[in-house]
Structure 1
Amino acid sequence: MSRPLGENGLYDRGKSDGRRRDRLFERHPWLRHPLSSLGPGLITGVADDDPSGIATYSQAGAAFGFGLLWTMPLAYPLMSAVQELTARLGRVTGMGLAANIRRVFPPLVLQALVLLLLMANIFNIAADVAAMGEAAELVLGFNRHLMTVLFVTATLLLQVLVPYHRYVFYLKWLTFSLLAYVAVLFVVHVDWGMAVRETLLPHFSFDGTAAMMIVGIFGTTISPYLFFWQASEEVEDMRGRPALVDAPGEARAELARIRWDTWSGMLYSDATSYFIILATAVTLHPAGITQIDTAAEAASALRPLAGPFAETVFALGILGVGMIGVPVLAGSGGYALCEAMGWTWGLERQAGDARAFYGVIAISVLLAVILQYLPINPMHALVWSAVANGMVAVPLLVALVVLVTRKSVMGDFIPSRTLIWLTIAAAVVMGIASIATIIDAVPWNLVSSAAHWRHQ
């Protein structure tokens, strides 16, 4: 093919470059508007840093200082690979995660996984809305329980009354609330040299407490509800277009968009998580505050150490990400149960057309409001919900790998070995940490007594 000639018979490099760019944009249309192309991956990433996540990361920084900063660089490729696989599964098959599990696994497996998801989600929502109410009381001075009811009402109305394509627009704007945790670091002194050293070459004692904290971090970073949410959101975004197994011509551009959306969203989430651990590591840990009881207490503890600005910004961040995290938690449960049962679902549908779907969302949130009035330590509930998520995620990751490696499910779009092995690595890391947590929790005096009794 001849190159285009310009004036004086010279090759017109500008035209050649322009045509090359046109071909690039034709193959990857999302490159024309990379920010507007961010969607399910970005929202999933920010929802990953819900108040439960904030509490877990804050506790990690307060208890271990710089000791657990290394978990975030390790988590990034693992969480990104997992979420890309779930997104691919949804877009390639045109069905969510639960619907695909239903196709391949026995009904008992699906029922057990969905039940565990719903239970974990309800407790997680309860802890999240309680933290949001406390943060609002901290910033605005209003009663926390009143603010909790207002937040719950607002999230329900948004999901029921606003179509998904509009609703997602507001969720995207709320993602900026994560920048609050970066702002905190501008008002405190950070030894960046030590932070980098501890990130790359960590020094901490690995015991049961550390194991529980690690599984909590990975549990809130690689959470089961995010798997169901992102797969179903890809289906929502299809808006009547065929699945990639039926329209392979669209695959190259769509899979490239999914990769950009997911890895960018996860990077935003992972970096913010790192900054939350760092913020509490340089403020609360040196001051001897190694145990915090609520997410709002993590914010208020910053006041004497970093000033009222840091406290306010930290609390506002809790409110912003909570307004994303709670709908994602409730919505993922609705997706999972309705797909499992074969019921009509979708945030793009009217409430009258998907009564069961919106009913699951409403019941989940209302049960969560009731649970927050129980005499349970909110911070402990948040951290333990993250630990539970970490344990539930292991069998789900195994199921995900089985699904995406089956030609009967993915057709010609089985993912690369790199994505699959990263997902297996995520399951192994979380499985090992979960086992270490369980072993530490076992009363070994009873075990040794039982062994002695058997010997006799």
Structure 2
Amino acid sequence: MSEKSASSSTSAVVDAVPGGEAIHGALYRYGLGVLFAANVFGAGSVYILADAGANFAFSLLWVLPLAFLIDIALHDMSARLAVADEPLADYIVDAVPIGGRALVIAISLMSALWAVSNYAVAGAALAWLLPGLDNVIVGIVLAGGTGIAIVQLKVYDRIEAAIAAAVFAVFGSYGLLLAGLDVPWQSVAAGLQPALNSDIGYLTTVIALLGTTVYWPNFFIQSSIQPTKEWTDVWKYRRDNAAGIATTLLIGSFVMIVSAVTLAQGDMTLTGPGQPLADIIGQGALLVFMIAVFLASITSATGTLFGAGFMIPQSMGAHTVFGDFRFRRTVIGLITVSAATALPLLVYTGFGPVEMAIIMPAVNGAIGLPVTVFALIGAVNRFYDIEWYENAAFVAAGLVLLIGSATTIQSLYETIVGIL
């Protein structure tokens, strides 16, 4: 079955249920934003946000609105590439005649670090949820198998949407908790004022937050999505992007604020971010939280690799579309590699699942993100006549990320060495 016929048959099923036509319309308008949001709001985001709140209170809230502005600017560039049907990976290979292909493959493999951490967390969550299992290694194998099954079913766009809705419902409940907590709103407001200090943990958390919220594989996905979405109006992409990014960062702020109020300083644990839910709602909420962590890890790990599903075939000169054989072969191969990589990291290093969830986005934020940003700037200027003020905004976003990477790479290295 082709991708188009699979999507059509899924649409027919959706339209057959009460309100199905409205659901289908919403998925068509905002499905890409939901996919991007699901990629962002994986295990890394949950634990990074909770860790930032617990250990730095409200002092890192300023990173979230900054991430929103940067994300909007970068998605605007990749949306224009989508309208022109000019994938970003094709541009990099063409613009860098010597080493361009290797660069695309290298950063696509780097994106698999997200999947490594997500499968590690998914395996740990599954071991927690199934007491009879009680084996993170087996849990990782099962989680990887689940990801492969989602890809092979060819209906993962609908699965992602359904799971993302459930995940957002669970983590969105942190917003309801704010009504019952004594939140020092003046301190929250103060935390929105940008500030940096030289503390290693603080700097690592800054780049981790940017790395997990300004999610660079999404830009490669979006620039390659035109044959699937068939949108030729950039405003459709902008509407979709804005809804997904705003929802993700709003929920992220809920998690950070609740964690700042309720969690103690120290190393983050697997169930730590869910403890506020359990304390206020009851222990059953912890079970729901862990299910949400498992689902979020699976969807984020799989959806993140969709970027590589485009990038690697494109770097080889192949034209690929969402869900075709080359795409699925690449994603399934990287799922297998990612799950297999998580196993020795857990067994032979000091990394635990939560440490991976915090560090891997930081690595991508420090290296893969700046490369992607300046490639986007070059690509959009090749195919469009960009106004000077737009370029100024794009370059400003790139410089913020480049400077952030330069100032935090040493602290990130020291953090990794400390864990190892």
Tell me the TM-score range normalised by the shorter chain: 0.7 to 0.9
Displacement after TM superposition at 1:378 (Å): 2.3
2:89: which partner in 1? 98
1:131 to 92, 116, 121: 121
Listed as ranges, the gaps of 5+ residues in structure 1 are 1-29, 239-249, 444-456
Give the alignment's Cα RMSD to 1 decimal: 2.9
* Conserved 8 A contact 1:283-1:306: no
Q: What's the CA shift string for 1:352-381, capped at 9, x where partnerless?
A: xx3xx3332222111221222223222222
* Conserved 8 A contact 1:330-1:361: yes
* Conserved 8 A contact 1:54-1:276: yes
CA 1:79–1:442 in structure 2 vs 1: closer, same or farther (change >3 Å)? closer
CA 1:339–1:68 in structure 2 vs 1: closer, same or farther (change >3 Å)? same
Displacement after TM superposition at 1:180 (Å): 1.2
2:290: which partner in 1? 315
Taking the aligned partners of 1:389 and 1:270, their CA distance within structure 2 comes to 19
Residues 1:228 and 2:207 aligned together:
no
1:197: which partner in 2? 189
1:21: which partner in 2? none
Taking the aligned partners of 1:53 and 1:419, their CA distance within structure 2 comes to 29
Q: Which amino acid aligns with 1:181?
A: F
1:160: which partner in 2? 152
Taking the aligned partners of 2:388 and 2:307, their CA distance within structure 1 comes to 27
Who wins on radius of gyration, i.e. which is larger? 1
CA 1:228–1:264 in structure 2 vs 1: closer, same or farther (change >3 Å)? same
Displacement after TM superposition at 1:214 (Å): 0.6
1:398 to 365, 369, 374: 374
Which stretch of structure 1 is more off in the superposition, 389-398 or 375-384?
375-384
Q: What's the CA shift string for 1:323-382, capped at 9, x where partnerless?
A: 321221222112111001013533343x4xx3xx33322221112212222232222222
Taking the aligned partners of 2:194 and 2:280, their CA distance within structure 1 comes to 25
* Conserved 8 A contact 2:123-2:142: no
* Conserved 8 A contact 2:54-2:259: yes
* Conserved 8 A contact 2:125-2:291: yes
Q: Which amino acid aligns with 1:359?
A: R
Displacement after TM superposition at 1:215 (Å): 0.9
* Conserved 8 A contact 1:40-1:233: no
1:431: which partner in 2? 402
Taking the aligned partners of 2:297 and 2:152, their CA distance within structure 1 comes to 18
Alignment of 1:60-209 (within 5 A): 60-92=52-84, 94-118=85-109, 120-143=110-133, 144-162=136-154, 166-176=155-165, 177-187=167-177, 189-191=181-183, 193-194=185-186, 196-201=188-193, 205-209=197-201
Taking the aligned partners of 2:413 and 2:36, their CA distance within structure 1 comes to 35
Displacement after TM superposition at 1:44 (Å): 0.8
Taking the aligned partners of 1:419 and 1:273, their CA distance within structure 2 comes to 28
Taking the aligned partners of 2:297 and 2:88, their CA distance within structure 1 comes to 24
Residues 1:274 and 2:242 aligned together:
no
Q: Which amino acid aligns with 2:234?
A: L
SS in 1 for 2:30: coil
SS in 2 for 1:169: helix
Q: Which amino acid aligns with 1:402?
A: G
1:363 to 327, 333, 355: 333
Q: How many residues align?
A: 381
Which stretch of structure 1 is more off in the superposition, 272-281 or 134-143?
134-143
1:38: which partner in 2? 30
Identity %: 19
Q: What's the CA shift string for 1:75-111, capped at 9, x where partnerless?
A: 112112212211221221x232101222333241342
